[in-house]
Chain A
Amino acid sequence: MQQIFNFIFKNSHRLLFLLLLLISLVLTIQSHSFHRSKVISSANFLSGGVYERINGFSEYLNLQTQNEILVQENARLKSQLFNIKDSTLVPSLDSIKGIDKVNLIVSKVIRNSYNVYENYITIKGGEKAGIKPDMGVVNSLGIIGIVDNTSEKYATVMSILNRKSQINAKIKKTNHFGSLIWDGKSTGFVQLIDVPRLAAIRKGDTIVTGGQSVIFPENINIGTIDKIYIDNQTNYYTLNVKLFNDMTNLGHVYIIKSKDREEIINLENQTKNE
């Protein structure tokens, strides 16, 4: 007994080291393996608050570009408003009661990361503003990511520049579906994999979100095809997609609140359980 105590006492710093190392390795492996199981996330009052302060300063340096983006968006929306084709058209069935299927929450990026393989963005506004995990995040140019963790006032977003991210997308012209992933090489490009060889595609075609996911509505811009090659193992097309968004410079974002989401998920779960 005496010897055991002696051993523990003598090697206490070693045992401490091993214990803490084990904890950090578990946290590391967890963060690489699962979605939203993170204990350590920047959606908390401490880091969220600090990032909000820092962003308050750096925002001023960026005001001009952000203004320009907003002006462009305004111009586009105005042009849509003035060019409404025919107001006597029969409204489509799902908007017959004047209810929008999709609601938007406006938010602001307070911390953006793009220098590692698994990038997360911290945004202002959390559960209090109605933001919940698994909501889609977009801006005027295209998609940005999916909400990962939320706290009362902040939320983290899994950027599309994250190796764990996988988003359903399609080619606008031909409606062929694929999965949008990131290979971690460049912040301006993502990859669309598993596109069937039947698809007639060309360089420059537009890629938009597909309707198969409940996170993003259909037809939100992503980017244009930059390169086309054939995957040797699967024999499907892999497309290099040039993003419309500059992921290194993000300002205001919109979080998509889909009303049908819970209904669809409930229905799918019911079907599975039967």
Chain B
Amino acid sequence: MSFVRFFLLLAAQIIIFNNIDLFGYINPFPYILFILLFPVNGNKQLLIITSFLLGITMDLFSNSGGVHAAACLILAYARPYIFKFSFGVSYEYQTIKINDVLTPERFSFLLVSVIIHHFTLFILEVFQLSSLWDILLRTIIGTLFTLLICIILIYIFKPSKR
């Protein structure tokens, strides 16, 4: 399942979402859904390695060095801590599913994750502290846009109950 998601999200990102250019420079990055939807108690090493592969493929297609790879790695590494922040300390013993009806916990998890990813991404991409406002602006608009697309995608592909 994760394997299929990896390629589908990557393909959608490269073919569709990389060409949106809202206001001329904002693209949503819903490909990070792969990291967010990875099984909660899944293999940590596997997640780190696949996140790196995901990011480096994005870099390959956008000529950006290792920017996406670094941002994805940081998100993958921070994921357990974001779980703890959003779902409480004992999240490991609950059955958390991210791709389900939106609750405040799930929303806060998505929000924090997207902010962390986008902030690292834009810092590394712009690579100039004098344009801090630009980094923040890109992070804010990009976060809202990505979050919206992610929630829409989750609702579209939500496993049906019954």
Chain A interface main SS type = helix
A93 at the interface (CB under 8 A from B): no
B60–A17 contact, CB under 8 A? no
A1 at the interface (CB under 8 A from B): no
B126–A24 contact, CB under 8 A? no
Residue of B nearest to A117 (CB): B126
A16–B48 contact, CB under 8 A? yes
Measured CA separation A248–B59 after assembly (Å): 21
Residue of A nearest to B78 (CB): A17
A20–B26 contact, CB under 8 A? no
Listed residue (B24, B44, B59, B63) with the most chain A CB atoms within 10 angstroms of its CB? B63
On whether A115 and B26 interact (CB within 8 A), knowing A31-B66, A32-B65, the answer reads yes
CB distance from A121 to the nearest CB of B (A): 9
Segment 112-135 of B: residues with Cβ below 8 Å from A? 124-128, 131
CB distance from B12 to the nearest CB of A (A): 12
Please indicate the chain A residues that have their CB under 8 angstroms from the CB of B48 in the complex: 13, 16-17, 20
A47–B77 contact, CB under 8 A? no
Taking A14-B77, A40-B60 as given, write out 5 further A-B residue pairs in contact, using a Cβ cutoff of 8 Å, ordered by the A residue number: A27-B59, A38-B65, A41-B63, A115-B24, A122-B63
B69 at the interface (CB under 8 A from A): yes
A20–B73 contact, CB under 8 A? yes
Annotate A27-40 by CB proximity to B: 1 below 8 A, 0 otherwise: 11111100000101
B9 at the interface (CB under 8 A from A): no
Closest 10 CB pairs of A and B: A31-B65, A27-B66, A24-B66, A24-B69, A115-B25, A13-B44, A24-B70, A120-B63, A28-B65, A28-B66
Measured CA separation A30–B157 after assembly (Å): 39
CB distance from A183 to the nearest CB of B (A): 10
On whether A20 and B60 interact (CB within 8 A), knowing A54-B15, A116-B25, the answer reads no
Annotate A42-58 by CB proximity to B: 1 below 8 A, 0 otherwise: 10101100110010001
B41 at the interface (CB under 8 A from A): no
A26 at the interface (CB under 8 A from B): yes
Annotate B31-62 by CB proximity to A: 1 below 8 A, 0 otherwise: 00000000000001100110010011001111
Residue of A nearest to B11 (CB): A50
B27 at the interface (CB under 8 A from A): yes
Segment 225-242 of A: residues with Cβ below 8 Å from B? none
B62–A113 contact, CB under 8 A? yes
On whether A30 and B65 interact (CB within 8 A), knowing A16-B49, A20-B48, A24-B73, the answer reads yes
Measured CA separation A17–B59 after assembly (Å): 18
Q: Which of B14, B55, B124, B128 contacts A50 (CB 8 A)?
A: B14
B63–A26 contact, CB under 8 A? no
CB distance from B47 to the nearest CB of A (A): 8
Measured CA separation A120–B125 after assembly (Å): 13
A21–B24 contact, CB under 8 A? no
Please indicate the chain B residues that have their CB under 8 angstroms from the CB of A118 in the complex: 63-64, 125
Please indicate the chain B residues that have their CB under 8 angstroms from the CB of A114 in the complex: 21, 24-25
B74 at the interface (CB under 8 A from A): yes
Q: Which of A14, A28, A51 contacts B124 (CB 8 A)?
A: A28
B67 at the interface (CB under 8 A from A): yes
B61–A50 contact, CB under 8 A? yes
A267 at the interface (CB under 8 A from B): no
